[in-house]
Structure formats: structure tokens, C-alpha cells
Amino acid sequence: MDLAYTAEEEAFREGLRSWLKAALPSLPPRPDPADWPARRAYDTAWQRRLYDAGYGAVHWDAPPAQRLIFLEETERAGAPYVGANFVGLLHAGPTVAAEGTPAQRDRWLQPILRGDEVWCQGFSEPGAGSDLASLRTRAVRDGDAYVVTGHKIWTSHAEVADWCELLVRTDPDAPRHRGITWLALPMDAPGVTVRPLRTLAGTAEFAEVFLDEVRVPAEFRVGAENDGWRVTLVTLSYERGTAFAGEVVACRRVLGEVARLARGNGRWDDTALRRRLGRLHAEFGALWRLVQWNVSEAQASRGAPGVGGSVFKLRYSHARQELYDAAAEVLGADALDADREWVADRLSSLAYTIAAGTSQIQRNIVAERILGLPKGR
């Protein structure tokens, strides 16, 4: 695989760089991180500007090199990341594009790309987090609708979402991976209750979602009834394979800032710290190469990212924690100041070894699907 950019790709970079230089100065100040309604308005307005400029669908259908250049340049310029649009843009939308009917693609994809509608993810449950196939939220077919009852948890952005990619059990007697269905749930449907959860970092990024006999039209089912596990694997492959790619670029920038601070405050004299930062530099460089490989492989196969996404997710989530641990070491006593840069990021980094499938789940996937080791159960 040739990882060098062509002249045409560099021309795309120059065009994007010029557009960002003109667009970013007119952005309003970023809202308070804890104010999710304001963050939704900010993030969706930025997505609309990208859409109007022709960059709205770059995560979906642009050539791999352009997608990578987009991540590099938006981070270099300090542009907003996807924010509240994370689920819709980076895995619900691609799932609908891959598995939805023509009518479903017409209904949901353009509103996501324009920033008109925000999605959340209703996968995790109190008794089914890492072991997703243990989910108990049930849906019973009643005429032209499913009646859904259950409880979801750790639902990112639920309080500001319009739609939820929802997993439900439609056949309780089937083997646990075969009785699941993937539905698009309108968050304003009667019977949906959202209760925000305050995290260690002090924001309400997550929520519990309670579903009390919620009627979901059958036409909102993506894929066949009881075939939701296969559709879910498509969603998870996007979530683990490419959805965190932009954050690797951000981590490389933060690592450079940490090194500069260490040189300025004397911490650079610590040989062990220098080795730690050097190893992280190599780690994030390798992760970016892995991102390039995953994106190129998905494009070459005209499908979703493969199990290489689990290798990426496993290493990235740990490297992110190690980065902010190193930042805390460089900050010294300032690491106890909640208003100091990187402190909230350090707290939120703890969730990365759980989000999108725990590290234990990723190790199982790597062992079974890449190394060919026998299943543990």
C-alpha cells in the first residue's frame, strides 16, 4: 500500500485548507462543555457549513486519502470535531447506507449530513454492556409496529438526539445472537424517558433511556427481523474501525504540547518521562498508519472496516489513557485543578477502555478472528 499522497490529493488539501482559513474566524465561541443543547446547536451548525461547502459526506463516500487529509487538516486548523453528530455521522449513518432500504436511505441520510438530525446509540443495558448479546429490551410485533419495553444505559447524547439506533430482542426463545433486531427509534415517541447521567468529568454526556411500550413503526427496522446481530456487527465495525480516527490526530497534537510544557517547566530532565513520551510518539504514529490501513481496506473491499478495527480500538483506548497520565505527570500539582487543560480529558479517557466494546471484548475478537484461537466458551 502506497501511503504517499498524490498531487491531486494535495490539491484537495490546499482547497480544504483555504476554506477552513476563511470559515473558522466567523465561528462563535464554543459553548460550555456541560451545556449539551448549546453544543448540539454549535455542532450541527458547523456540520451544515461543511455540507454546504461540499465536505459534509467526507466520512462516508470520499476516497480514503481525502478522508484522512480531512482529519489532518481540520485538526491542524483547530476546527470543531463531529461532537453531537458522532453517532449519526460515524456509525448510524454508514449502517443505514449499507443495510437500509432505498426509502430509509432517502429518509435519514441527508438530514444527518446536513446536521438537521442527531442520533444516539441504544445498545448498552444495565445487564448487557460488554456482553451485548445479553440484552433484554424486548419488542413485540403488533400490526404495523413494534411495541418496545426496556431500559438502556450509557446512551451518548440521548438528551439532544432525534433518533436512536436501538437493539431489541424480538425472539426470546432464539439463540441469543439470533433473536435481535436493529430499529431506528424516534426519541420523541410517547413512552420514551431520558434521564441524564453525570460523569466523573462533570458533564451529562450519557443518559439512561427508559422505554415503556413505545410503538416503533415496522418500516423503521433496518435489516430483517431477528437479523439485528449481523447489522450490529456492521455498526460496530464502523464505530471501532474509523469513528475514533480523528481523535488520533488530536492526541498527536496534545502529545507535542505536553512535550513543550515539559521542556518549559523542567520535567524534561526526567529520563523516564522522555522515554515515555517517545514511546507514545511511536505509538500514535503506528495508530495513524493503522487508521490508513483500515480506511484503505474498507474502501478496497467496498464494505465496512474489518476486524482490524478491534486492534485499533484496543491499542488506541490504552494509548489515550497513557497520554493523559503523562500529561498529569508533567502538570504536577496542577493536575488537581479541574479547570486546567487536559484534566477533564484525563478523566474522560478512563471511559475509552469501556466504550464501543471493552478491551476484554476486543482481545477476544483479536484472538478468535485474527489469531484463530478457540472460543473460550
Active site residues: 239
Task: Please give the full DSSP string across 46-90, using - where no structure is assigned.
Answer: HHHHHHHTT-TTHHHHS-HHHHHHHHHHHHHHT----GGGHHIII
189 three-class SS: coil
Reference 195, options 243, 232, 152; nearest CA is 152
Task: Please give the full DSSP string across 269-331, using - where no structure is assigned.
Answer: G-HHHHHHHHHHHHHHHHHHHHHHHHHHHHHHHTS---THHHHHHHHHHHHHHHHHHHHHHHH
293 vs 76: CA distance, rounded Å? 21
Provide CB contacts within 8 A for 133, sequence distance 6+. 176, 177, 180, 229
Residue 336: left if φ>0, alpha if ψ -120 to 50, beta else—which one?
Answer: alpha
123 three-class SS: coil
